[in-house]
Structure 1
Amino acid sequence: MRQATFAGVALALLTQNFTRASQVPLRVDSDSWNLDVSPNINATGRLVFDTVSSFLQHWPNTRYRNGHNLVPGTVPVGTLLYHGRGDSNLPAGADWVATDPEHSVIFCRGSSEAGCWHLTLIASRPLKVLYFDGSSAAKMRDGPMDSQDVVGWGKVSPERFFDEKKRIFDLCNWGKSLEIDGYVRMEMDFEIMLCDFKEGVDVVAMANLASQGRGGPGGPRRRPQDVVHTDNSTFPPLALASVSQVIQSGSWHNRYPGDRRIKLDLTRLISFYDTSLVPSLVSKRFGLERWDHRLLGISSEDIAAVLGKLTDAYTAPPQAGSGVDWDTLFKVIVDRYGDRFELLRYVLNATSDADPLVTAKNAMSQFRVMLHPYILHAAAPVPGSADTAWATPVYKFCATSHTSYIRRSAALSALLTASEHLLLNAVEEVNREICRMVVGMWAEGVTAGLDDALPVDPPIAHDSAVLMRKWQTTVNDLMTWLDWSVWIKCRPACGFEEMCYLPTWPFGGGGGGRGGPPPRDSPDGPPASPVHPDSVAEPDYLRPQPQCVRRL
């Protein structure tokens, strides 16, 4: 009786929740609770979800280098930053600083006689910054610089991908009235384009170090395997060791929580995947693989809307927002399903000599593990019927478990910023599709009599092998749709003397993408930047795949 009562209450709450939620605009179809209805092909909630849950993490932003988000943030008081140079002068204007000294020392270049200079700085007050996600410091014409072009120049300018001196000057000039201190980017590790070395930072130390050499990590193209091999005689030993270390320091921030020295304000997030803000890009990315998503083709009207919203983010009266910890909520979803889907895929890909019925029942046990908190007592199949509509309440309960209160609470909903509405939609879209697919497979198995905890008499006749193949396809399609970088690993795992590496600029392929960079001594390039003179990028560089490289 208690179970039946609980089920009835739960179903009543669900009905109440969706009635109240109708007062808040939802970007879902009216028949979205149909287990056979998939998300709109142009829906971008999953892309918002994955990019946001990847912020400040090196691995996923190396995999998908073309960023699509602008996020205001701060660098807290007491944070150390680092800058390498050839003389003992403090930069007179804007320049680059690293969050790890392993990164900045590769720019510590001078002469063998006089050495070079390495500055350690400390934030003397909170530094106001803007974060560009993706590999936004990769000097490639294929898209990593697009969002910076939009902010600094008001248009995407692929031909200026190496115009770094002008880029940092114009970005700092644009943000001066907004009191922006710098811009956070990522290449081998994270860096900040600091606009003024006399504002908000103090010099902690100015050390005279042994020089890394004139070329640093530049020179002939090197595969990542070569970069970390100490027997490569074409690199100066000190420079070779430094390059190896900056690759490793970047890997410290590979996974969640990423580089926590930058604090992002998700209540002011701006995403180019927001179709209501940037509708012109919907058609531009249609049919493209995600590697090729970029901002090229964005309309002038959409650029104006983005820049207006970005200006408001820094000038409008502060909004406290809802107080929802979106960063953690996104992480909860990934934690809940990431490992389980890997295990489910492993179970379903059992060897060919395995008994399909046994494998199907093993898969059913995994479905039930994922759905157990949502399987209502009142939800039961119709004996002898293959219809799975009876599982709709389970689907609804599962899909709304993390967000129903946010939707039904008028007080909380009223506090949501526009950016938070985007984040809420992303969580809902991802959770809905996960639950739709898993509940659908589980319901099929129940009607086929494969769930011992919910027996059906009579079960629907089925071929276990056929059902297995169908579930294999469904799980693969779902994981492809989600496309989480937590599933991208070196297989088999690397040895202790190795590290798992994704090829990134400037190692692992041509530094200039399709077309290559200007010569190393070009006046248009940043001083002493680690570039390669290659003119053609390697395919694995544009579609990076994990590989084991030596650490020793």
Structure 2
Amino acid sequence: MKRALAAVALTALAVVLIRNSHSGDFTTILTRSESLSDAPPLRQSEFSPPAFNESTYIFNAVHNQLRHVGNAMAPNGMTFTPGFVPPGTVLYHGMNRKELPQDLDWFAFDPEYSFTMCCNIGHAFGNPHITTAQVVEPLKIVYIDGASASLSSDLGTMDSQGFLLDDPIDTWNDYTEFARGDRLCRLFKENGFKLDGFVRMNTGFELLMCNMTNPKVEYVMNNAIAVSEEEGTAGLMKRSSFEVGQTFLSRDRFGNLLVRPSREFNFFDYDWVKSMERTHSSAGEERVELDYRGLVTIYGMEGSRDIDFPKNVSQHRLLTGSEALRQELRSQLWEADKHTRTYDPYRINWRTVTDNLVYKMAPILAQIKNGLGQLEAGTSSLNDTSKHLGGITSMLRLRFEGDEELANSTRHDVDAQVERCAKTYASDFHKYDVTPFEEKVRFAIRLVSTAVCSVIMETADWANKVQTRVGNVSEELPSKLHADVSDLISDLNWSYFVSCTHRCKDNEVCYLPTWPHGGREPHIPAEPLQCRTIEDLRKSRGL
């Protein structure tokens, strides 16, 4: 009992600190904040406990895994996660010749991706073919988050790959895709990592294969794409004047491929972005199975705290990362391999754990912000606002009330409610044999859930007091709560708040212009995405 009371007090202190500062270090608080009598202490010697701002980055790195919108919001990824591409997965490769690919090259998970890259950007050239393959044995991969296949080196999408390669900063961008991919494959294999390739994102997800003749993949089809030498030939594509073997894209001075921005957005582009739309959120790219036992994120590493990361996560760079941080990253990756060499269907899916918090709490936070904003603006009355907000938070408030509160309806221990609420989302996983990488994730989720529960429970308590007219309510409290929830939503930076607000019509796409459709740089959504028709997209380009 004493331990439980102490835990409540400690979490209450954490709540106070979170309310007053979103950048504090709550390590000394939450390492002792479990209220279960058999809860072991966190293994602090095996990971560096993150502060609140680092926890939001780690939380989102987990929640955004293999999801398009979240990775577009934080295009310069900082996280590497081992996993598998399971047997039966169908893959596609576009090329300008009939011969099957050799050595290092890439597969797409969607045929539209390969078709557009082969036959649409710059139009067909050479002897275009689309090859279909199937995975026959599990492929061991490492997923690199962010827009890591977007060749926007100036923005930073290549930072984590360049940083890992142990090269001087001014040469990170000098590699072509094939040279960079080859060096990554060799680095992992030379350090004992059992690896077949990397999964990365631009407009959809791709699999960079270290060896396209890998026996774990079988080629099952090789289709030629019909082309014409003349313009306007029905059903055929106009052949480009490029010579066989030349790239169909222009290149920048670093050798990276660029798209001609004046090219008309056509139905092939529309098919491509439409195929990618299903990975915006929900299950994401479900044809890849990640193993969170080995999730390695630069956020929260001791060496990363020397980098002055700005508040805007889209501007996070590794340009000032130290050699010590590079070695720390490498060491953790090689250690992660040891935890993930065998497939385990009973491991914890930490992305689902974050989903439980996001999809329950995000709509509530949005309504609290909107309701309190209307109250401040004078467009809603105190009674109507408190009644509505009390209604949407009532189940949570009642769910986390204790015995003393049930016995006395005038007593509401908000701090205890926050503790019970936060515990729901991450605390009990210590019962499993989690790795140090997972412990770091659990710690981050606990801090984020504490901050979210704090704002919601405070709002619930205020609304209940206004409606029941029990207890003193400060007139300034609604304004403070509005500021708190607004700041929290900004700090959380959840993709939920910028995803399309409704299902698009059949002739529309929830449009997110990521490279190469976004031009030189990926689009970073700050406002909700819109459903767009192909006519809308053509007009937006002035075509």
TM > 0.5 between the two? yes
Give the counterpart letter for 1:369 in structure 2. M
Matched, 1:40 2:55: no
Q: Which residue of 2 aligns with 1:531?
A: none
Matched, 1:358 2:364: no
Identity %: 24
Task: Work out which of the residue numbers 289, 305, 320 in structure 2 matches 1:263.
Answer: 289
Distance 2:381 2:526 in 1: 37
Relative to structure 1, is the Cα distance of residues 250 and 441 closer, same or farther in structure 2, using a 3 angstrom cutoff?
same
Q: In structure 1, the residue corresponding to 2:380 is in which secondary structure? A: coil
Distance 2:303 2:493 in 1: 24
Matched, 1:116 2:131: no
Give the counterpart letter for 1:300 in structure 2. E
Post-superposition Cα deviations, 1:230-283, rounded to whole Å, max 9, x if no partner, equal: xxxxxxxxxx3222211111112111210111111100010011x2xx333324
Structure 1 stretch displaced more, 341-350 or 208-217: 208-217
Distance 1:390 1:31 in 2: 13
Matched, 1:126 2:126: no
Post-superposition Cα deviations, 1:344-367, rounded to whole Å, max 9, x if no partner, equal: 333333373432232123222323
Distance 2:515 2:484 in 1: 35
Q: Which residue of 1 aligns with 2:277?
A: 251
In 1, are the aligned partners of 2:127 and 2:224 still within 8 Å (CA)? Answer: yes
Q: Which residue of 2 aligns with 1:434?
A: 452
Give the counterpart letter for 2:460 in structure 1. W
Q: How does 1:46-445 map to 2 (within 5 A)?
A: 46-109=56-119, 115-140=127-152, 141-153=154-166, 156=169, 159-160=172-173, 163-177=176-190, 178-199=193-214, 200-211=216-227, 213-214=239-240, 215=248, 220-222=260-262, 227=265, 240-273=266-299, 275=300, 278-315=301-338, 323-350=347-374, 352-379=378-405, 390-407=413-430, 409=431, 412=432, 415-445=433-463
Gaps of 5+ in 1: 1-11, 23-27, 228-239, 514-539
- 1:65 is displaced (CA, Å) by 0.8
In 2, are the aligned partners of 1:122 and 1:202 still within 8 Å (CA)? Answer: yes
TM-score by length of 2: 0.78
Distance 2:330 2:347 in 1: 25
Distance 1:283 1:389 in 2: 42
Distance 2:319 2:97 in 1: 39
- 1:543 is displaced (CA, Å) by 5.8
Relative to structure 1, is the Cα distance of residues 83 and 494 closer, same or farther in structure 2, using a 3 angstrom cutoff?
closer
Relative to structure 1, is the Cα distance of residues 425 and 480 closer, same or farther in structure 2, using a 3 angstrom cutoff?
same
In 2, are the aligned partners of 1:119 and 1:206 still within 8 Å (CA)? Answer: yes
Q: In structure 2, the residue corresponding to 1:31 is in which secondary structure? A: helix
In 2, are the aligned partners of 1:322 and 1:417 still within 8 Å (CA)? Answer: no
In 1, are the aligned partners of 2:386 and 2:467 still within 8 Å (CA)? Answer: no
In 1, are the aligned partners of 2:12 and 2:415 still within 8 Å (CA)? Answer: no
Distance 1:550 1:402 in 2: 39
- 1:488 is displaced (CA, Å) by 0.4
In 2, are the aligned partners of 1:270 and 1:419 still within 8 Å (CA)? Answer: yes
In 2, are the aligned partners of 1:38 and 1:433 still within 8 Å (CA)? Answer: no
In 1, are the aligned partners of 2:142 and 2:199 still within 8 Å (CA)? Answer: yes
- 1:179 is displaced (CA, Å) by 3.2
In 1, are the aligned partners of 2:498 and 2:525 still within 8 Å (CA)? Answer: no
Distance 1:430 1:389 in 2: 23
- 1:202 is displaced (CA, Å) by 1.0
Distance 2:478 2:330 in 1: 50
Structure 1 stretch displaced more, 128-137 or 107-116: 107-116
Q: Which residue of 1 aligns with 2:533?
A: 550
Distance 1:491 1:259 in 2: 20
Post-superposition Cα deviations, 1:166-189, rounded to whole Å, max 9, x if no partner, equal: 111111222334331111111111
Post-superposition Cα deviations, 1:127-169, rounded to whole Å, max 9, x if no partner, equal: 1111100100111122111111133345655651662121111
Q: Which residue of 2 aligns with 1:15?
A: 4
In 2, are the aligned partners of 1:77 and 1:125 still within 8 Å (CA)? Answer: yes
Post-superposition Cα deviations, 1:98-122, rounded to whole Å, max 9, x if no partner, equal: 0101001123349979741111111
Q: In structure 2, the residue corresponding to 1:469 is in which secondary structure? A: helix
Give the counterpart letter for 2:195 in structure 1. I
Q: How does 1:505-516 map to 2 (within 5 A)?
A: 505-509=515-519, 511=520, 513=521
Tell me how many residue pairs correspond in the alignment: 473
In 2, are the aligned partners of 1:399 and 1:431 still within 8 Å (CA)? Answer: yes
In 1, are the aligned partners of 2:67 and 2:281 still within 8 Å (CA)? Answer: yes
**Alpha carbon RMSD of aligned pairs, Å?**
3.4
In 2, are the aligned partners of 1:347 and 1:363 still within 8 Å (CA)? Answer: yes
Q: Which residue of 1 aligns with 2:491?
A: 481
In 2, are the aligned partners of 1:149 and 1:157 still within 8 Å (CA)? Answer: no
Give the counterpart letter for 1:421 in structure 2. E
Structure 1 stretch displaced more, 477-486 or 365-374: 365-374
Give the counterpart letter for 1:506 in structure 2. P
Structure 1 stretch displaced more, 211-220 or 243-252: 211-220
Give the counterpart letter for 2:261 in structure 1. R
Give the counterpart letter for 2:304 in structure 1. L
Structure 1 stretch displaced more, 394-403 or 207-216: 207-216
Give the counterpart letter for 1:40 in structure 2. S
Relative to structure 1, is the Cα distance of residues 257 and 344 closer, same or farther in structure 2, using a 3 angstrom cutoff?
same
- 1:191 is displaced (CA, Å) by 0.5
Q: In structure 1, the residue corresponding to 2:103 is in which secondary structure? A: coil
Distance 2:276 2:298 in 1: 26
Structure 1 stretch displaced more, 252-261 or 156-165: 156-165
Q: In structure 1, the residue corresponding to 2:13 is in which secondary structure? A: coil
In 2, are the aligned partners of 1:14 and 1:396 still within 8 Å (CA)? Answer: no
Give the counterpart letter for 1:83 in structure 2. H
Q: Which residue of 1 aligns with 2:511?
A: 501
Distance 1:355 1:111 in 2: 60
Q: In structure 1, the residue corresponding to 2:212 is in which secondary structure? A: coil
Give the counterpart letter for 2:145 in structure 1. D
Post-superposition Cα deviations, 1:447-506, rounded to whole Å, max 9, x if no partner, equal: xx3143xx62xx32543xx44333322221221121111110457986653322223212
